[in-house]
Amino acid sequence: MKKYLIYLLILSCIFVCSCGQKKNQQQGEDAEAEAKMIVSGEKWLDTDGNAINAHGGGILYHDGTYYWYGEYKGDSTYWNPKVPSWECYRTEAGGVSCYSSQNLVDWKFEGVVLPSDTVNESSELHYSNVLERPKVIYNDKTKKFVMWLHVDSHDYAKAAAGVAVCDTPNGKFEYLGSMRPNDAMSRDMTLFKDDDGKAYHFYSSEENKTLYISLLTDDYLKPTGQFTRNFIDQSREAPAVFKQNGKYYILSSGCTAWDPNQAEYAVADSIMGQWKVMGNPCSGKDANITFYGQSTNVLKVEGKKDAYIAMFDKWNKTDLIDSRYIWLPIKFSGDSIDIAWQEKWNINEAFK
């Protein structure tokens, strides 16, 4: 009898221990799954535990790694005293940051790949100027990583586009200078590299009223002079361009400085237009103001079919460095797209 009781005790201990282990394992798996969630508007930390500082950004996929380039904002925000007529909130331009990731969730800070100039006040890259919406594409012929960005004076009067190059995605980019492409103003912008290797610069021009699409030279460093004027007098900003199933899509915002407004998308068979306006792609809570966000890029998830992520900035105009990110999956139905609000989601679940 005594022997029997001892056996029972040992068996109970084994049972309790294995239940505890299972619970711990489950908790571990839950925590890991939670860590891989993309959480809208929360503070996103890099792998060192610092807030990701890459606003108005874009993503390049190269050799199995995603590189996220964005505005590296300074930590003090002020209303530019020289521009009292509109809410010209500014922060010191820190240059362009770069983060790398294999899974789009864990981001390693690669450094500031195009630093602002802290000394020379006459430099276009001086921190008192505007350095926004950097995008990088890879040129297969020259083997250079080419960056274009919005380069402006402190009051946004210069309205120019700057170009920088590098031999590696995460090295220090060499700044080549700025221009008004096709002799026209250039503010909010993006780049798009097509399947045939041709690249295009999309930019808000003519006082942000009309969006230009400009074919770049083969080295991607200059405009060819071939361009179209699109969405004339429609005041579209924050362009993000992608291609799916042979169609071109452009996502953009209205023009209300740092404040949110309604997004719009358009579809075309040819990159230079004609574009067919399709309306607001957003749905769900606060869809009429883009979930408090503004488009910056659409990212293709590699290795998965029809897997695209719309990237938005949720600007905090009085503390710009603390602006957040909202990334949401795009759903397709014919030529139509839907970007539905989600507080958090998982890439593997969304794109099976």
Binding interface with ligand GAL (CB under 6 A) = 56, 132-133, 188, 237-238, 255, 257-258, 294
Rounded least distance, CB 260 to ligand GAL, Å: 10
**CB-wise, 88 or 271, nearer to ligand GAL?**
88
Beta-ladder partners of 329: 309
**CB-wise, 258 or 332, nearer to ligand GAL?**
258
Characterize the bridge pairing of strands 282-283 and 336-340: parallel
**CB-wise, 170 or 210, nearer to ligand GAL?**
210
Q: Is 92 exposed, middle or buried (0-12, 13-18, 19+ CB in 10 A)?
A: buried
- Where do we find the tokens 């005594």? 2
Rounded least distance, CB 98 to ligand GAL, Å: 19
**CB-wise, 93 or 166, nearer to ligand GAL?**
93
DSSP 276-319: EEEE--EESTTGGGGGG-EEEEEEEPTTSTT-EEEEEEE--TTS
Rounded least distance, CB 258 to ligand GAL, Å: 5
Rounded least distance, CB 37 to ligand GAL, Å: 27
Spatial distance between the Cα atoms of 145 and 167, rounded to a whole number of angstroms = 6
Which residue type does 209 have?
K
Spatial distance between the Cα atoms of 297 and 260, rounded to a whole number of angstroms = 16
Rounded least distance, CB 57 to ligand GAL, Å: 11
Q: How many CB atoms lie within 10 A of CB 263?
A: 27
Task: Of 92, 71, 69, 89, give the one whose Cα is nearest residue 81.
Answer: 89
Rounded least distance, CB 86 to ligand GAL, Å: 8
Task: Of 219, 216, 209, give the one whose Cα is nearest residue 252.
Answer: 209
**CB-wise, 130 or 301, nearer to ligand GAL?**
130
**CB-wise, 170 or 230, nearer to ligand GAL?**
230
